[in-house]
Amino acid sequence: MGASTLSRRRRGAHAAVTVRRRERWKWPVVAGMALISASALFPLYFLVSNALRTNADYAGAKVGLPTTFSAGALERAWEGASVPTYLRNSLIIVVGTVILSVLVATFAAYSFSKLRWTARGKAYLLVLVWIAVPPLILLVPLYVQMVELGLFDTYWSVILIYTAVNLPFNTYLMTAYFRSLPDELAEAARLEGASVHQILSRVLLPLARPALATLVIFNFLWVWNEFIFALLLLPSDETKTLTVGVLQLQGRFNLDPTALMAGLLIATLPVVGVYLVFQRYLVRAVAAGIGR
Amino acid sequence: MANRDRLWGVVYALPALALVLAFIAYPLSSVVYHAFTAWDGINPPEWVGLENFSTLLEDPLFRTSLRNNVLFALSVPIQVTVPMLLAWLIYERVPGWRFFRSTFFLPAVISTVVVGIVAQVVFRLDGPLNALLGSVGLGALQSDWLGSANTSIPAVLLVVVWANFGYNTLIYLAGMSALDPALREAARMDGARPLRVLFSVIAPNLKRVMELVLVTSTVTAFAFMFAYIYVITNGGPGFDTYVTEFMIYKQAFALGRTGYACAIGLVLVVITAGIGFLQIRVLTRSPGI
């Protein structure tokens, strides 16, 4: 008994030392993390501060705060990158791709996780196996294919390509999430007479909100930011995306750096907004996605 | 009931199968075929057997490109360890953890175009980095960062690591959030120091997550570098920062050597397929598959 009291006391002392030690290393570590946070915020600061100043002011001081305020750069970027048209194109493509991706991946995941059929393991692999194919190597054949299908320079060309190249990962994520939901749920609904479709729409989907949110955010970000396929497949002003539009402002950098920054800022704000809205779902759904 | 599953199982899987077959498998088969042809992308391709591949072996540009991919892959250890440490600090609720969790993911949110152009401006000879170095008395370190291969590859590498650490941190956080909190508490009670808790308790239980991050970071170094190179250096100075993907793009779209580009593409697919095979094994090793 005496020994156990002693050991408990010693343990208490040890814990106190640990806490003190923890305190000591904590503040430098927090300072380091704050520095990393600052670097993560830097591009936004850089864009905002330079988009709102004049070119002369930018040339004078590149790091410090602006000494002038001017919305001129925003106006020039808005027109130079034809923002209203390109923004519309980007939104149509993003929304179209996200809807199609979520639908197709959810259907496939439902089939691969909850419906019993003979070749489902093989079919699942057949969807998954393309996960490491670099999309860039498909650029030439997809270009030819889209011309042949008559889809070149239409929204559909990139919507179909984006959906396909992200489908392996999307399907994987949804399947893992559905598998983490107990089979008894579907079984109980089935006994109560729910159809195959009702089990998906009324039982599984309401529970899959974190996974759906993750699909929406990952695909939104990826599609919004993609520019190689968009650059080559959507050359005309009527179909060009905003990311490609601001990329082309880069050529004017030497003449008008602040307009470039303003264009980049306009193209960045929507994704930051979407991230802020959906971020609370991220950790939970990724946790399910990595099968834990 | 089983019959119903059989029918609808196929029907529900069909759109996904159709899309990957039509827009990944089919174009991939076209790459494989054209790798053995001389083709300019316009006129009919002409079968040349293995000629593209023997050209490839002798091509110094291909060697440079592949070497650069390998150089970028050297950052993988950093990409695996630093995010784990950061995720663990957030998991340990250090002061400000909510703020850190929100901001760390921002670089992954911002478009590569934006990241790339900002990086290019920052690294310019007359850019903010050199201005900063000058103003703190380190003018001797000023350099045209993207102007020579010695500094441009590390500069791009830094940007890629920075752009991806938020993703990896998020994946680790997700893994940790699913750990049994009792594990950590027990180790704590025994008086283990925080770093020991990380190495002896947390890390061993996150082996699968570490494997996942390892594989995806390696794939990125070989298969997802194009956007960074295109925007930040455009392959330059000279050909110094070419990566395999960038070479494929240039051969196909600037030089009209489409058959040759397909051959390079085929080699790249073989490399990434090897890594991807590992990735699928890591992804599907969870119980119940």
pLDDT tens digits, A36-64: 999 999 999 989 988 888 887 877 766 66
Q: Cβ contacts (< 8 Å) between A158 and chain B: which residues? A: none
**Extents of the domains making up chain B:** 49-284
Find the CATH number of the domain harbouring A184: 1.10.3720.10
Find the CB nearest A136 among B6, B178, B226.
Answer: B226
Instruction: Report, as an integer, the average pLDDT of B27-46.
Output: 92
Cβ(A243)–Cβ(B111) below 8 Å: yes
Written as six digits, the tokens of B166 are: 């938020």
Rounded to whole angstroms, how far apart are CA atoms A273 and B188? 39
Where residue A134 falls (left for φ over 0; alpha for ψ -120 to 50; beta otherwise) is beta
Q: Determine contact: A131 vs chain B, CB below 8 A.
A: yes
Tally A–B CB contacts below 8 A: 304
Written as six digits, the tokens of A73 are: 């750069």
**Cβ contact, residue pair B16, A129, below 8 Å:** no
Q: Determine contact: A205 vs chain B, CB below 8 A.
A: no
Rounded to whole angstroms, how far apart are CA atoms A159 and A99? 10
**Cβ contact, residue pair B111, A133, below 8 Å:** no
Tell me which chain B residue has its CA closest to the CA of residue A43: B118
- Min mean pLDDT across A183-192, B79-88, B272-281 is at B272-281
Range of the domain at A279: 80-289
pLDDT tens per residue, range A9-20? 444 445 555 555
Instruction: Report, as an integer, the average pLDDT of B90-117.
Output: 90
Which residues numbered 56-75 in A keep a CB inside 8 Å of some CB on B?
Answer: 62-63
A66: in domain = no
pLDDT tens per residue, range B202-211? 888 888 788 8
Instruction: Report, as an integer, the average pLDDT of A158-186.
Output: 91
Fold of the CATH domain B49-284: MetI-like fold (1.10.3720)
Instruction: Report, as an integer, the average pLDDT of A72-101.
Output: 90
Q: Determine contact: B258 vs chain A, CB below 8 A.
A: yes
A220: in domain = yes
Cis peptide bond N-terminal to B237, omega within 30: yes
Q: Å from A23 to nearest chain B CA? A: 10
Sequence-distant (≥ 6) Cβ neighbours of residue B261 within 8 angstroms: A140, B247, B248, B249, B251, B252
Written as six digits, the tokens of B137 are: 């008395």
Tell me which chain B residue has its CA closest to the CA of residue A47: B118
Domain identity same for A17 and A143? no
Tell me which chain A residue has its CA closest to the CA of residue B12: A107
pLDDT tens per residue, range B152-175? 999 999 999 999 999 899 889 888
Domain identity same for A130 and A273? yes
- Min mean pLDDT across A3-7, A16-20, A77-81, A83-87 is at A3-7
Find the CB nearest A140 among B107, B212, B252.
Answer: B252
- Does pLDDT of A198 surpass 50? yes
- Does pLDDT of A3 surpass 50? no
Domain identity same for A112 and A193? yes
Domain identity same for A20 and A122? no
What pLDDT, on a 0 to 100 scale, did the predictor assign at position B285? 67
Written as six digits, the tokens of A251 are: 């050529």
Domain identity same for A179 and A267? yes
Domain identity same for A31 and A130? no
Tell me which chain B residue has its CA closest to the CA of residue A279: B102
Total domains in the fold of chain A: 2
Q: Where are the alpha helices (DSSP H) in chain B?
A: 2-20, 26-34, 51-58, 60-73, 76-91, 97-104, 106-109, 112-123, 128-135, 149-177, 181-189, 194-196, 203-205, 207-223, 226-232, 244-253, 258-284
